[in-house]
Amino acid sequence: MESVFIIVVILVAFFFVIQKRYLRQDELKDSAYKKKGALLNSQETAFYNALISAVGQHGVVLAKVNLANVLTPLATEKKQWFIANNRIAKSYFDFVVCDPRTLEVRVAIELDNGKELNKGKVDRQKLLIHVCKSAGIPLIGASIKHSYQVSRLRRLLAAHIDLIESDKEVRFCKRCGSPMTVKIASQGEHKGRRFFTCSRQPQCTYTENYNVVFDEAE
Ligand SMILES: [Zn+2]
């Protein structure tokens, strides 16, 4: 009698396990999917092509990289960590350029689609600017209207990635008319970044942002 009881218990348990399993599969079957299509739209693809051409062999370009894959909150307290992580978990960088050997992110690029500023767009830009500044990742804003200009992109990147050489450029000092030379900042907020300085230093102390021509054009 006892053994019959044990067999019944085993059978019932077996039944429940099987049922649970099939139920779970049914739940998955309820949600069907279809492909969204290309990962990038045509404007983004045009920019991507210009970007890989500007970067060449000196970097790896990745698109739509989740912020949480690149950044982690500094907070050590669990709750604060989750709050900070939730803040970035749903956002992604449009493009990042990574070191080709280590795949460490060197520069993040935000592509402005030229559409009107709305609250969502402003919030996104605020978040990107904050996280990049906080984590020390240079953030380049690129407008869709310049997307095809490979030399311009290369110059923007050259200020941050030392392997990328932009086409040689001659500039003359705005103040005294002497030729200017390119130097790399050794300290301060812009450490490692290139800038133009007057060749008559220290008599003339004029310096210029590497990308000033483009900043003015924006
Ligand atoms: Zn000068």
Question: How far is 189 from 3, CA to CA, in rounded Å?
Answer: 79
Question: How far is 205 from 88, CA to CA, in rounded Å?
Answer: 41
pLDDT (tens digit per residue) in 6-16: 788 888 887 77
Q: Which long-range contacts (CB under 8 A, 24 or more apart) does 2-10 make?
A: none
CA 185–ligand 1 middle distance (angstroms)? 18
CA 170–ligand 1 middle distance (angstroms)? 14
Sheet holding 92-98: strands in order across? 60-66, 92-98, 105-112, 139-143
CA 153–ligand 1 middle distance (angstroms)? 27
CA 180–ligand 1 middle distance (angstroms)? 7
CA 207–ligand 1 middle distance (angstroms)? 8
Average of per-residue pLDDT values in the chain: 84
Same domain as 150, residue 60: yes
Same domain as 183, residue 95: no
CA 160–ligand 1 middle distance (angstroms)? 25
Same domain as 199, residue 110: no
Q: Which of 112, 138, 158 is the last residue of a domain?
A: 158
* Structural domain contains residue 206: yes
Same domain as 186, residue 136: no
pLDDT (tens digit per residue) in 135-186: 999 999 888 775 567 878 888 888 888 767 766 677 888 888 888 888 888 8
CA 24–ligand 1 middle distance (angstroms)? 74
CA 211–ligand 1 middle distance (angstroms)? 18
